[in-house]
Structure 1
Amino acid sequence: MGRLFLHINVSLDGYITDPAGDIDWAFADEEFQRHIDDLLESIDGMVFGRTAFEQLAAYWPTAGDEVSTTQRRRMHELPKYVLSRTLRGTEWHNSHLLGDDPAGALKDLKRRSDRDLALFAGGQAATSAVRLGVLDQLRLVVNPVLLGGGTRLFDGTYPKADLQLTDTRRFASGALLLTYDLKPSGTSAG
């Protein structure tokens, strides 16, 4: 059975985009690109919110030499699942809407998956995954920057969740990959 993890760049002050909606502040050196290649090779599928899906669907089908061969291939072939109440269809290769019961659909996907599924983008999607109780792990790439505003990683209401730090990785850029498992409900830190 697979798990659903969130993998996302975040500023030290908790933003995933700057005030203009850009992510050009997030680092992307060769070491990090190798990390992304390895991550894409290790998963059974990707989950996106609607906005992120639309942006990525406009970019990846025509991506060129600015991305690795692994990224170009895996972004094409991996199944892509979309959390959306407004989209009625998708055109990006191997993409699927999760439908009116996203929690049930994601739980079913995790049961059928041999490997993990990655939720890559979208603050609303991340908040929804926590609210729906389907997120198993957070992989936060904390970038050494203070943005002072923008889109928060988690915004809105969701239940309290206890986390356990299970891994850390420091990149040469100074960014940290912090991996947290969400503890099952009813457990306490001890």
Structure 2
Amino acid sequence: MAKLIFSAITSLDGFIEDSTGNFDWSMPDEEVHTYVNDLERSVGTYLYGRRMYEVMVAWETFEDADLAPFAVDYARIWRAADKIVYSSTLQAASSANTRITRTFDLSAVQKLKDTAQRDISVGGPNLASQALKAGLVDECHLLLSPISVGAGKPALPNDFRAEFELLDVRRFGNGVVHLHYRTRT
């Protein structure tokens, strides 16, 4: 059985983007990016909403020659994985190994978890919120950036209560802290 993992880079006050939709403050440096690459190696399928997919699909078209080696590594990880995009408006995928599904069906996600050989990542707070509330998320990787943005899109749902078990903490030279949690059942 595969794990469903929610990963997010957040501000210290818990937002993945500020009130204007900006998230340039969250761009990982080489040390953090290399660490994230290692976390992502176990992922065989990414679950995205349309907006998150439209951000991430850039990894499909970046020219490796234009990227730092750690970014090339991530691009290869991302390109090799399957992607499922949940969107009622997106007509076609613009990346390989990608299929569009109209609705986020929690029973289908559970079936995928039960049958997948590799872990599954749920990306973006909207889908993650649904998966968290349904009790499908097994682990969370939160990378806290040393910045407060005051308002914006929260990484975790406001109307959700759960207990987590801390599995690991990692501190980086740029002030980012990685918190790895397992959900408690």
Whether 1:19 aligns to 2:22 is no
2:145–2:177 contact (8 Å) kept in structure 1: yes
CA distance in 2, matches of 1:53, 1:132: 22
1:93 partner SS: coil
**Letter in structure 1 aligned against 2:183:** L
Query: What is the aligned partner in structure 1 of residue 164 from structure 2?
Result: 163
**Alpha-carbon deviations, 1:131-179, whole Å to 9, x = none?**
2321111110011111111211134544x32111111111111111101
Which runs of structure 2 are paired with 1:131-146 in the superposition (5 Å)? 131-146=133-148
**Which structure 1 residue ranges, 4+ long, deviate > 4 Å from structure 2?**
none
Whether 1:152 aligns to 2:154 is yes
Distance 1:60 1:153, change over 3 A: same
1:25 partner SS: helix
Which runs of structure 2 are paired with 1:65-76 in the superposition (5 Å)? 65-66=66-67, 68-76=71-79
1:180 partner SS: strand
CA distance in 1, matches of 2:111, 2:79: 23
Distance 1:102 1:139, change over 3 A: same
2:24 partner SS: coil
1:49–1:125 contact (8 Å) kept in structure 2: yes
**Once the 2 structures are TM-superposed, how far is the Cα of residue 104 of structure 1 from its aligned partner?**
1.5
Whether 1:102 aligns to 2:101 is no
Query: What is the aligned partner in structure 1 of residue 184 from structure 2?
Result: 183
Gaps of 5+ in 2: none
**Alpha-carbon deviations, 1:117-143, whole Å to 9, x = none?**
1223x2212212112321111110011
CA distance in 2, matches of 1:140, 1:72: 21
**Letter in structure 1 aligned against 2:105:** P
Which runs of structure 2 are paired with 1:85-124 in the superposition (5 Å)? 85-100=88-103, 102-120=105-123, 122-124=124-126
CA distance in 1, matches of 2:148, 2:154: 12
CA distance in 2, matches of 1:132, 1:85: 21
1:33 partner SS: helix
**Letter in structure 2 aligned against 1:112:** T
Query: What is the aligned partner in structure 2 of residue 63 from structure 1?
Result: 62
* 35-44 or 71-80, which deviates more: 35-44
CA distance in 1, matches of 2:55, 2:176: 24
**Alpha-carbon deviations, 1:77-124, whole Å to 9, x = none?**
21012233444542321112345452122112111222311223x221
The TM-score normalised by the length of structure 1 is 0.85
2:59–2:79 contact (8 Å) kept in structure 1: yes
The TM-score normalised by the length of structure 2 is 0.87
Query: What is the aligned partner in structure 2 of residue 36 from structure 1?
Result: 36
**Letter in structure 1 aligned against 2:131:** A
**Total equivalences in the alignment:** 181
**Letter in structure 2 aligned against 1:91:** S
Give me the CA root mean square deviation.
1.9
